[in-house]
Amino acid sequence: MQSAFRTGQRHAHGGRGIFLKHARPAGGHISIKKLVEEFIEAKRKAGRRESYLNVQGVVLGKFAKSFEEERNVHEIDRAAIEKYLDGQERTLRTRRNVQRDLHNLFGFAIQKKYCAVNPIKELEEISFTEPAPGILSVTEAAGLLQAAEQYQNGMMLPYVALGLFAGLRTAELETLNWQQIDLAEKTVEITAEKAKTRARGIVELSDNAVEWLRPYKKKIGPVTPECSDHHFREVRKLAKIQEWPHNAMRHSAASYHLAQHKNAALTANLLRHENTRTLFAHYREIVKPKEAAKYWQIKPSAEVDTKVVSFSAA
């Protein structure tokens, strides 16, 4: 009797799955390709940043291309998604991020009534141990600054100095204007539209950061030149740093700052985090106090004349 009951349960569950897969959704049929386009447009209208939309376009666009164009959203089940995920070589971190993006996509589909269930919820949750953040040694940081000083009349020196000693994000460095930097007050203003969290912030500059920036300071204009990715790669080549850790300058600023000040809240404030959890989870590498002291004493070797670095605004 119990066996028959369980068999009935399986048939009922399978029947529900078949029904959901073939029944016409309340919102109508829509292909996965069209859903991705509609999702991105909805996010654009909601004010999401272009950088976010571009990433979603790549991740979700690749997912959509793995299915035939006429494949409807409500027909895609757990098995189809697992086949897609298993067919790609990804780290656990990347797989987790892709699953998160797909979860958001199918959540949007449910809101629009294009499907009744979110198949991502049926997948196993990804878990892994976060690797320690990679940082630069004191010698590497000093070498990077020297290379930036030598490269094309120092055009990338402010970018490097602000990354190493103020911990600014790449997107913030790329859009920073000299008007936002006050060397007398030793501050950098991060405007709300440029900040990752869209909240205005003030970053305090260390004494050595001010010394590095002073010869390059202008009243107005972009801090970073166009094609900064290319220029920064050339600076790294010049510095002969063999392996470049992900987000190395920001992680270095955080790790050496915490070791120097021994105040997690102060370091979180430098990074403009709402709390210290993110700092300890993703940004901090163990640094000895002696090395931290050396890091914050990295200064220009000699007084130099004011640099005139000209490049057009982005």
Quick: pLDDT tens for 56-73.
999 999 999 999 877 899
E runs forming strands in the chain: 181-182, 187-190, 201-204
Class in CATH terms, 23-122: mainly alpha
Q: What is the pLDDT of residue 128?
A: 75
Q: List C-alpha distances in Å: 141 to 25, 91, 154.
A: 57, 29, 16
Residue 230 identity: H
Instruction: Please tell me the class of the 138-295 domain.
Output: mainly alpha
Alpha-carbon separation of residue 292 from 51, 212, 252, 254, 289 (angstroms): 34, 18, 10, 11, 5
Residues of the chain with CATH 1.10.150.130: 23-122
| Integer CA distances (angstroms), 125 to 92, 205, 211, in order | 11, 41, 48
And the tokens for 73?
Answer: 């959203």
pLDDT value, residue 69: 77
Q: What is the pLDDT of residue 9?
A: 43
Question: What is the structure's pLDDT at 91?
Answer: 87
What is the C-alpha separation between 164 and 252, in angstroms, rounded? 7
Residue 206: its pLDDT value, please? 97
- Give residue 194's pLDDT: 52
CA-nearest of 129, 141, 97, 127 to 245 is 141
Contact assessment for residue 222 and residue 172, using Cβ atoms and an 8 Å cutoff: no
pLDDT of residue 286: 82
Q: What is the pLDDT along the chain (314 residues), one digit of tens a residue?
A: 444 434 444 444 444 455 445 567 888 999 999 999 999 999 999 988 888 899 999 999 999 999 987 789 999 999 999 999 998 888 888 999 999 999 999 999 999 999 999 999 999 988 877 777 789 999 999 999 999 999 999 999 999 999 999 999 999 999 999 999 999 999 999 986 554 555 578 999 999 999 999 999 998 899 999 999 999 999 999 999 988 998 999 999 999 999 999 998 998 989 988 788 777 766 666 899 999 999 999 999 854 444 544 444 33
pLDDT score, position 27: 86
The reported pLDDT for the residue numbered 188 is 97
Where does the chain hold its CATH 1.10.443.10 domain(s)?
138-295
The contacts found for 139-142 with CB under 8 angstroms, 24 or more apart, are 140/239, 140/241, 141/252, 141/295, 141/298, 142/298
- Starting at the edge strand found earlier in the chain, the sheet holding 187-190 runs 181-182, 187-190, 201-204
Tens digits of residue pLDDT in 224-269: 999 999 999 999 999 999 889 989 999 999 999 999 999 989 989 8
